[in-house]
Amino acid sequence: MLEPEATIVCVDCGGRCHLLTQPPEDGLWLPGDIVAYRCEDCRDRWDLVLPGDEDTSKGDGFDDDEGRYPWSH
């Protein structure tokens, strides 16, 4: 089941980033959903897109997936 991590490691400072985004009311995360994290150390905000199907034809210009999905180790 698709679910974002509660915390991720900050790319900048290595601190902990906490999930800001509330789960959807039905509890179902969808591929392409944006989730936001806030770093507790440097206060940086990170917006991540939940990974999903191969449907990348959204045309939003993102083509480097590197580091975009820190929860898929």
Least CB distance from residue 13 to Zn ion, whole Å? 4
Query: Residue-wise over 43-58: b if at least 16 C-beta within 10 A, else e?
Result: eeebebbbeeeeeeee
Q: How far is CA 2 from CA 12, 44, 53, in A?
A: 25, 24, 11
Nearer to Zn ion by C-beta: 3 or 41?
A: 41
Binding-site ranges for Zn ion (CB under 5 A): 10, 12-13, 15, 39, 41-42, 44
Least CB distance from residue 37 to Zn ion, whole Å? 10
Least CB distance from residue 27 to Zn ion, whole Å? 28
Nearer to Zn ion by C-beta: 4 or 37?
A: 37
Quick count: other Cβ atoms within 10 Å of Cβ 14?
10
